[in-house]
Amino acid sequence: MELINPNILWGLAAIAAPILIHFWNQKQARNVDWAAMKWLVESQKLKAKGFRFEDLLLLILRILAFIILVLIVAKPLIDFWQKNDTTQLEKIHILAKDKATINDFKFEINEALTKKESVYFIDNLEQKLSEIVTDFEEKDIQLTDLQSISKAMDLNLSKSKIILYIPNNIDFKENPNVFLPKFSEINFSNKTEKNGAKALATNEYIYLNAEHKLIKNSTKPSKKIIEKEEIKVAIETSNPSENNSIKAALEAIKEVYGFPFIYDKNNPELAIGNGAMKYKNADLIILTNGLQSTANNVISLNENPNSGNVFRAELPTQILEVLLEHYQMISPNNHLSEQQLKDIFKEKTITNHKDKTLIDKYLCMLFLGIVLVERWISLKNNK
């Protein structure tokens, strides 16, 4: 059940009113002696004491009346024909414009076409495919392509199951969450690309080995080499203790991995700190304390250098990750695992009021019936 006006549910707090009134009336009851009292039988006296059934029934009816009245205003919707069995849903297959992905799932796509199920390319959700074509121009998937699925006007997403076929090398760094319709299945191809990672050459070679571990070694690797005799660093912060924390993080990276940092504020290659935007000509600017910038050479860290994370080595780790990417020491197609990819995708509920029935008129009839019964019992028992 869905509600058009869910905020009205706060009105359910009103059910406290009949409960409080009931107990107040119970509190106000008192025994009054009168002349004929001696003629009452003992059983009638006992019946008059305590919590009578009629009172309980009246209380329940009054609470129900309040609840139903709030639901009427909230306007509930129910899909009487909704099927929980996803096998009954229409299947819609959406393909990335990627030949390796289509080749991996060629059997599944052909089977879908044979069954006359809907098949689309992800960049054109208006034109169905009648056959698998391989002469198309490949196109990298953008986040906007994935997000457009939930907004597609021609797809009946509330009664369909989306089956998505995409490569596993999509860059999700800018937006780690992608929302898809409720009934979705994601298939990732095992796309492999040539390793484009580079090595940094100082007095030794710094690079990621086959196990994806960062090492320094005197043996020249079979990678493209970036020569760096020194990396000029400018630390610019508004707090001396933050300055010391950042320098300690850089020194840890220098000691363990051999990055040739020298501290020089004259034309630095790397500027870091909450005041690093002062060095606009630096090749890389790392802003701390959550500061943001849209410049291409700026990376923002949420870390406060004075936080406890510094002492847990999180600041050096984050700076190191930025440096590895800046110097292209990480492969541009550094694939995420299937589980990591699936964690990125979130469910988005598709609301289609046309497929649902507004039941407020039935609730009005029920409300009227409850009120009539409550009034009849109340008048009968003089309550």
pLDDT of 355 higher than 70: no
CATH assignment of the domain containing 239: 3.40.50.720
| Domain contains 221 | no
- Would you say 228 and 260 are in contact if contact means Cβ atoms under 8 Å apart? yes
Identity at 165, one-letter amino acid code? Y
| Domain contains 134 | yes
pLDDT of 139 higher than 80: yes
pLDDT confidence tier of residue 375, bands split at 50, 70 and 90: confident
Q: How would you write the chain as a 3-class SS string?
A: CEECCHHHHHHHHHHHHHHHHHHHHHHHCCCCCCHHHHHCCHHHHHHHCCCCHHHHHHHHHHHHHHHHHHHHHHCEEECCCCCCCHHHCEEEEEECCCHHHHHHCHHHHHHHHHCCCEEEECCECCCCCCCCCCCCCCCCCCHHHHHHHHHCCCCCHHHEEEEEEEECCCCCCCCCCEEEECCEEEEEECCCCCCCCEEEECCCEEEECCCCCEEEECCCCCCEEEECCCEEEEECCCCHHHHHHHHHHHHHHHHHHCCCEEECCCCCCEEECCCHHHCCCCCEEEECCCCCCCCCCEEECCCCCCCHHHHHCHHHHHHHHHHHHHCCCCCCCCCCCHHHHHHHEEEECCCCHHHCEECHHHHHHHHHHHHHHHHHHHHHCCC
pLDDT of 369 higher than 60: yes
| Domain contains 200 | no
pLDDT confidence tier of residue 201, bands split at 50, 70 and 90: very high
Does residue 186 share a domain with residue 115?
yes
Q: Is 292 exposed, middle or buried (0-12, 13-18, 19+ CB in 10 A)?
A: exposed
pLDDT of 29 higher than 80: no
The pLDDT value recorded for residue 135 is: 81
| Domain contains 118 | yes
Distance CA 77, CA 64 (A): 19
| Domain contains 102 | yes
Percent of the chain having pLDDT more than 70? 65
Mean pLDDT, to the nearest integer, of 282-294?
A: 88
Q: Greater confidence, 293 or 172?
A: 293
pLDDT of 346 higher than 60: no
pLDDT of 275 higher than 60: yes
How many domains are contained in the chain?
Answer: 3
| Domain contains 212 | no
Mean pLDDT, to the nearest integer, of 328-343?
A: 59
Does residue 291 share a domain with residue 372?
no
The pLDDT value recorded for residue 250 is: 93
pLDDT of 167 higher than 60: yes
The pLDDT value recorded for residue 206 is: 94
The pLDDT value recorded for residue 59 is: 79
pLDDT of 194 higher than 70: no
pLDDT of 2 higher than 80: no
What is the overall mean pLDDT for the chain?
A: 76
Give residue-wise pLDDT tens across range 50-99.
445 557 787 788 888 878 887 777 777 665 444 445 557 788 999 988 88
| Domain contains 319 | yes
Domain of 166? 86-193+335-354
The pLDDT value recorded for residue 197 is: 85
Mean pLDDT, to the nearest integer, of 300-308?
A: 68
The pLDDT value recorded for residue 178 is: 67
Does residue 322 share a domain with residue 272?
yes
| Domain contains 250 | yes
pLDDT confidence tier of residue 254, bands split at 50, 70 and 90: very high
Does residue 71 share a domain with residue 8?
yes
Give residue-wise pLDDT tens across range 169-187.
666 555 556 666 667 788 8
